[in-house]
Structure 1
Amino acid sequence: MGQSRKHPELECARSVVLVGMMGAGKTTVGRRLAPRLGLPFYDADQEIEKASGMSVSDLFAAHGEKSFREGEARVIRRLLEGPPHVLATGGGAVTHPETRELIKKRAVSVWIEADLDTIVARATKRNTRPLLQAGDPRETLERLIEERRPYYEAADIHVESQSGPHSHTVDLIMNALEARPDLLTAVEENAQ
């Protein structure tokens, strides 16, 4: 059941972590990127739901965003301490300092940026987004983009997602990784 690799020259000693706003396409892109790199794929929100036995919406409602981010950080830590993989994070994962530091140390971060209209269209298709339950979704998303932009801009790679096919975004990421294969090499934990 091995996955065919279209780019065998890319040796992935580090995980590839997709960051960006809800609706940017991280999960869809991640599912398509992982087989091209010969890596397994994980979605942080799905892993959180498995670990807690609750939906992300229910976790937010029951415990609030701060508690959710703490749990999210634990799940991301567990995943990044394991073998290399592709990980789609929640849009706000990078707001947690421990998560940012862990991604920086153990992974290649890829910011998938989409314009506001695309994000609004994609993120409002489902009513399961806890941060969009109150107020105008467009205003909320615009505010969140501005608050999170500095964290996203710190990513190793930046690609733009458009309303077209996600395969184009996957190609952009692969091209960026081919241009910088050094990003995928292991980093020694205790280098002096």
Structure 2
Amino acid sequence: MTKPALILVGPPGSGKSTVGRRVAERLGVGFKDLDDDLRDAHGLEAGELVVELGRERFQELEVEALRALLDTFGGVLALGGGTPTAPGAAELLAGRAVVFLDVDLDNLLRREGLLPLHPWLLPNPRAHLRQLLTERRPVYESVASATVVTSGRDPSDVVADVLNALPAAAS
């Protein structure tokens, strides 16, 4: 039984994919983005799947995909922003090396490409993201054993902090 070297959680645009790829490279392991796996399996981006299938069914698919990867994938795994909030996800993440990539609202709004990937943020991205951060931050904190702030930081600095957090996250 293999288990991920690291699981990254955080809101959309927190840097999970960018940082995850770099951490995986530094550790010499593979990288997977759960949203990419869902897109490949179902033919639509995660945001479009939420709209098409509804939040409840989408979260069921996320948990199924997460469960399948937890015992078979030994690399760095970036979860979708809402995955930790899905029923059953927190239990699956318990006892694993999980790092929360924390980002503030102003930095999220500056991230390019966020809105096209997450159409449910429209028409008022600031209000939706503020609500999302308020609702999800306690969940991210509860499933993670370490937190790394990404706001206004160079990805290489974030990678270094994530790597430094690994011993704490793995315990």
Q: Scaled by the length of structure 1, what TM-score is found? A: 0.81
Gaps of at least 5 residues in structure 2 are none
State the secondary structure of the residue aligned to 1:21: coil
**Deviation digits for residues 101-122 of structure 1 (CA, Å, limit 9, x no counterpart):** 11114x2110000111011111
Quote the Cα distance in structure 2 between the aligned partners of 1:112 and 1:97: 21
Quote the Cα distance in structure 2 between the aligned partners of 1:125 and 1:53: 19
Query: What's the offset of the Cα at 1:125?
Result: 4.5
| Contact 1:25–1:112 (CA under 8 A) maintained in structure 2 | yes
Quote the Cα distance in structure 1 between the aligned partners of 2:114 and 2:91: 32
Q: 1:170 aligned to 2:156?
A: no
RMSD of Structure 2 on Structure 1 (CA): 1.9
Count of residues in correspondence between the two structures: 169
Amino acid at match of 1:162: S
In the alignment, which residue of structure 2 is the partner of 1:39? Answer: 29
| Contact 1:14–1:184 (CA under 8 A) maintained in structure 2 | no
| Contact 2:14–2:102 (CA under 8 A) maintained in structure 1 | yes
Amino acid at match of 2:150: S
Q: Scaled by the length of structure 2, what TM-score is found? A: 0.90
Rate the CA distance shift 1:75–1:160 in 2: closer, same or farther, 3 A: same
Which residue, 69, 84, 89 being the options, matches 2:74?
Answer: 84
Q: 1:149 aligned to 2:137?
A: yes
Q: 1:184 aligned to 2:144?
A: no
Quote the Cα distance in structure 1 between the aligned partners of 2:113 and 2:129: 10
| Contact 1:13–1:184 (CA under 8 A) maintained in structure 2 | no
Listed as ranges, the matches of 1:2-151 within 5 Å are: 14-105=4-95, 107-122=96-111, 125-133=114-122, 135-151=123-139
Amino acid at match of 2:20: G
| Contact 1:56–1:130 (CA under 8 A) maintained in structure 2 | no
Rate the CA distance shift 1:125–1:60 in 2: closer, same or farther, 3 A: closer
**Deviation digits for residues 160-179 of structure 1 (CA, Å, limit 9, x no counterpart):** 0022321111100111224x
Query: What's the offset of the Cα at 1:20?
Result: 0.6
Give 4+ residue runs of structure 1 displaced > 6 Å after superposition: none
Q: When you count helix as a share of all residues, which structure comes out higher?
A: 2
